[in-house]
């Protein structure tokens, strides 16, 4: 899944948060819904202008961001 075809970042939309192109629905919001137990079908019913591919793109974006994250443990 090439998320770059469906996810955009524009400082004029939601202060630059990554969103699904053509919407004001953020990647964060979609991932949060899934994390709270919503199914893909529930999201598609509630937000009928989204597609299954939009939701997959959100997860692919989140995966790429997490892969590049670095965690540094501090000594106690």
Determine the pLDDT at residue 55. 98
Residue 19 C-alpha from the chain's centroid: 7
Task: Output the pTM of the full model.
Answer: 0.90
Instruction: Give pLDDT tens digits for 56-76.
Output: 999 999 999 999 999 899 998
Greatest Cα-to-Cα distance within the chain, rounded to the nearest angstrom: 49
What pLDDT is stored for residue 76 in this prediction? 87
- Enumerate domains of the chain plus CATH numbers: 3-65 (1.10.10.10)
**Interval 23-33 mean pLDDT:** 98
Task: Give per-residue pLDDT as tens, 36-56.
Answer: 999 999 999 999 999 999 999
Nearest to 24 by CA among 57, 52, 47, 56: 47
How many residues are given for the chain?
Answer: 76
Listed in sequence order, the DSSP H helices in 22-69 are 27-35, 40-46, 52-68
Nearest to 61 by CA among 16, 12, 20, 14: 20
């Amino acid at each position: 899944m090439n998320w770059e075809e469906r996810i955009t970042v524009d400082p004029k939309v939601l202060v630059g948060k990554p969103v699904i192109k053509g919407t004001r629905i953020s990647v964060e919001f979609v991932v949060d819904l899934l994390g709270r137990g919503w199914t893909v079908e529930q999201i598609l019913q509630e937000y009928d202008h989204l597609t299954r591919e939009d939701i997959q793109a959100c997860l692919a974006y989140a995966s790429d961001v997490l892969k590049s994250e670095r965690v540094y443990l501090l000594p106690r």
